[in-house]
């Protein structure tokens, strides 16, 4: 995938079960609402109850974890089921929550899911309310198993096997790793378990006779897809239902010659960079499973080397950390390997762009202080290549600076805003950089950036009726801009909503504009990212104008014969 290859994990202690969260929690993820300090918090008096059973046998699931995650800063609460599968969450503040239940070897489910691939239904909780029968039936994960052999038909032991799924990336569906993998045993057998229902591609990673051998010696095998091909386009799909076991997915690896790739890390003046970290990733535009990550360190002459690189297209990412004020220098180079050795691949690193400006509030008072989780990010407006969104600093007077922004087309975002606020505009010299990407070269300094935050947050809500004018209880509402130029990945001009226990949907925070709104019985994974699907449904949708801060009710009719149906 086109994603950063270095991940920074922030490890925090888990909150106490069923405990009212502390204000301004720094544990919120980027883009997630941060609890806002309030002089008079809502009374935590509601009670939620239910049971968790297994979907196959209907037996109680003991010690399953049940969580209630609130929107608008109402926090997260959790508990465990007892011997009868029963659970209770007491002292819950009023708010809107998503409930989930999980326990291995079952799949995690959200309340109200008809299948594991759609979002759950939120629960609207009032002060002092007792809501019961919030029940879950957890399905077991699916299993794919088989045998991997080498090119001679002998068992291939200690080979990593991956389950891959198609995801919509860069305007097309392509296979990416699902996160489920297994190692073959001495008989070449593998078992991929805990899979969500759906369609998968099974692939091995590149394997070699010995890491210590030169590239032209020993036996090596390319990343191979079932039923025995190195091309993702020729892979055979394997479909599984919830709890289904699919044995006999057997295939042979494809033998190949591996290559050596070497090169230099240079700065903008062409000077070698000593000690830079160089990371090799396979380029996802090839649609391949990847050969795994290799890491090298540049020497005093800026030289680096990777051995045993399988055929494919790659990107080498170089990083050089400096003092805190200077941030990180980074750069990338793309290349293709087809069984030949490559030399003199040059990666040029830049210090990254630096931007500075101020955060303003157009209505009402700003928070008393800058919340710990608030940060300014300069990211791509969708999936993008390895890049840094910058190191953000926000001062007490609401001025900010971001350093080490790597080259590319970027938009500005504010993550960790308190509940009830939204970013209204982001401009550089009067030009929009909230929805119109600004091209950074990787070395410029941009000043005078204005980020305007507003408390005028829009809200659209309503219900859905079927063809007999009866209230619909299960559906998905999709809202997307009438301007197809705003259908890009990561757009702010799209939202998906599911009904709560009362059959009502609610969408908050959409930017002002004209939207298509449509209620569907089922929305498949990634459908909302697919421009062809949006083109298909736009003529069946209802147009609605949403103004800044406007609170509007929109009743919809269910459109029953659109989409691919449930898996």
Residues 6 or more apart whose Cβ sits within 8 Å of residue 534: 480, 484, 487, 516, 528
Residue 33 within a domain: no
Residue 198 within a domain: yes
Please check whether residues 433 and 505 belong to one and the same domain.
no
Residue 1 within a domain: no
Q: Which residue has the tokens 């900010």?
A: 400
Q: Does an H or E element contain 98, and which?
A: strand 95-102
Please check whether residues 238 and 146 belong to one and the same domain.
yes
Q: Does an H or E element contain 304, and which?
A: strand 303-309
Kindly report the average pLDDT of the chain as a whole number: 83
Please check whether residues 157 and 250 belong to one and the same domain.
yes
Q: What value, to the nearest 5°, has the Cα angle with vertex 482 and ends 479 and 488?
A: 75
- Picking from 256, 283, 299, the residue at the C-terminal end of a domain is 256
Please check whether residues 268 and 241 belong to one and the same domain.
no
Give the tens place of pLDDT for each residue, 515-534: 999 999 988 777 888 888 99
pLDDT at 348 (0 to 100): 92
Give the least confident one: 76-85, 198-207, 208-217, 331-340: 208-217
**Residues listed for the chain:** 567
Please state the rounded mean pLDDT for residues 450-473: 93
pTM to 2 decimals?
Answer: 0.69
Residue 36 within a domain: no
Tell me the C-alpha to C-alpha distance, in Å, between residue 289 and each of 163, 222, 286, 385, 404: 10, 10, 9, 16, 30
Please state the rounded mean pLDDT for residues 359-379: 85
Please check whether residues 359 and 449 belong to one and the same domain.
yes
Residues 6 or more apart whose Cβ sits within 8 Å of residue 539: none
What CATH number is given to the structural domain containing 59?
Answer: 2.60.40.10
The Cα 113–Cα 522 span in angstroms is 11
The secondary structure of residue 155, as a DSSP letter, is B
Please check whether residues 151 and 216 belong to one and the same domain.
yes
Contact yes or no for 161/204 (Cβ under 8 A): yes
Contact yes or no for 188/165 (Cβ under 8 A): no
- Picking from 89, 116, 138, the residue at the C-terminal end of a domain is 138
pLDDT at 169 (0 to 100): 66
pLDDT at 28 (0 to 100): 34
CA 299 to chain CA mean position, Å: 35
Give the least confident one: 242-256, 283-297, 439-453, 479-493: 283-297
Domain that holds residue 110: 44-138
Please check whether residues 77 and 116 belong to one and the same domain.
yes
Please check whether residues 248 and 279 belong to one and the same domain.
no
What CATH number is given to the structural domain containing 535?
Answer: 2.60.40.1120
Closest CA relative to residue 233, chosen from 203, 259, 193: 203
The Cα 172–Cα 284 span in angstroms is 12
Contact yes or no for 125/96 (Cβ under 8 A): yes
Please check whether residues 244 and 281 belong to one and the same domain.
no
Torsion of CA 55, 58, 60, 64, to 10 degrees: 0
Give the tens place of pLDDT for each residue, 141-170: 899 999 999 999 999 999 999 999 887 766
Using DSSP's 3-state secondary structure scheme, residue 533 falls into helix
Q: How many Cβ atoms sit within 10 Å of the Cβ of residue 157?
A: 15
Overall number of domains in the chain:
5
Please check whether residues 314 and 299 belong to one and the same domain.
yes
pLDDT at 72 (0 to 100): 54
Percent of the chain with pLDDT over 90: 50
Give the least confident one: 12-21, 188-197, 399-408, 498-507: 12-21
């Amino acid at each position: 995938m086109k994603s950063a290859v270095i991940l920074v994990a922030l490890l925090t202690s888990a909150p106490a079960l069923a405990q009212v969260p502390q204000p301004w929690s720094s544990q919120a993820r980027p883009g997630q609402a941060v609890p806002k300090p309030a002089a008079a918090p809502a009374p935590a008096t509601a009670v939620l109850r239910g049971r968790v059973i297994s979907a196959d046998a209907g037996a109680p699931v003991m010690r399953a974890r049940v969580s209630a995650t609130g929107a608008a800063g109402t926090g997260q609460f959790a508990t465990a089921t007892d011997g009868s599968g029963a659970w209770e969450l007491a002292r819950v503040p009023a708010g809107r929550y998503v409930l989930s239940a999980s326990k291995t070897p079952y799949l995690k489910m959200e309340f109200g899911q008809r299948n594991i691939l759609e979002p759950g239904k939120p629960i609207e909780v009032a002060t002092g309310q007792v809501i019961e029968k919030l029940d879950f039936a957890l399905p077991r994960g699916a299993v794919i198993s088989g045998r991997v052999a080498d090119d001679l038909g002998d068992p291939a032991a200690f080979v990593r096997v991956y389950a891959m799924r198609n995801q919509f990336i860069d305007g097309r569906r392509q296979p990416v790793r699902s996160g489920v993998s297994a190692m073959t045993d001495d008989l070449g057998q593998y078992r991929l378990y805990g899979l969500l229902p759906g369609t998968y591609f099974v692939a091995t990673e590149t394997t070699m006779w010995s890491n210590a051998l030169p590239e032209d010696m020993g036996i090596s095998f390319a990343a191979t897809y079932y039923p025995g091909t190195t091309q993702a386009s020729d892979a055979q799909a394997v479909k599984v239902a919830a709890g289904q076991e699919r044995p006999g997915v057997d295939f042979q690896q494809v033998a190949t010659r591996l290559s050596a790739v070497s090169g230099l890390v240079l700065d903008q003046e062409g000077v070698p960079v000593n000690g830079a970290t160089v990371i090799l990733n396979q380029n996802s535009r090839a649609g391949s499973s990847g050969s795994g990550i290799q890491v090298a360190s540049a020497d005093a002459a800026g030289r680096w080397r990777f051995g045993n690189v399988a055929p494919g297209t790659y990107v080498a990412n170089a990083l050089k950390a400096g003092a805190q004020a200077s941030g990180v220098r980074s750069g990338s180079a793309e290349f293709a390997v087809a069984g030949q050795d490559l030399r003199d691949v040059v990666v040029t690193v830049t210090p990254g762009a630096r931007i500075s400006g101020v955060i303003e509030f157009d209505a009402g008072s700003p928070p008393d202080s800058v919340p710990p989780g608030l940060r300014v990010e300069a990211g791509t407006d969708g999936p993008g290549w390895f890049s840094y969104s910058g190191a953000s600093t926000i001062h007490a007077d609401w001025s900010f600076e971001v350093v080490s922004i790597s080259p590319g087309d970027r938009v500005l975002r504010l993550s960790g805003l308190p509940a009830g606020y939204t970013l209204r505009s982001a401009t550089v010299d009067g030009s929009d950089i909230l929805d119109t990407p600004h091209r950074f070269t990787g070395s410029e300094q941009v000043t005078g950036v204005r980020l305007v935050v507003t408390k005028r947050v829009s809200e659209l809500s309503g219900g859905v009726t079927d063809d007999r004018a009866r209230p619909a209880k299960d559906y998905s509402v999709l809202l997307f801009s009438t301007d197809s130029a705003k259908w890009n990945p990561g757009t702010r001009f799209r939202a998906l909503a599911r009904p709560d226990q009362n059959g009502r949907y609610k969408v908050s925070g959409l930017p002002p504009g004209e939207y298509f709104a449509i209620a569907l019985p089922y929305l498949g994974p990634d459908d909302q990212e697919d421009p062809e699907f949006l083109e298909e449904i736009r003529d069946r949708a209802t147009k609605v104008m949403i103004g800044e801060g406007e609170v509007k009710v929109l009743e919809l009719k269910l459109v029953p014969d659109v989409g691919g149906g449930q898996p």
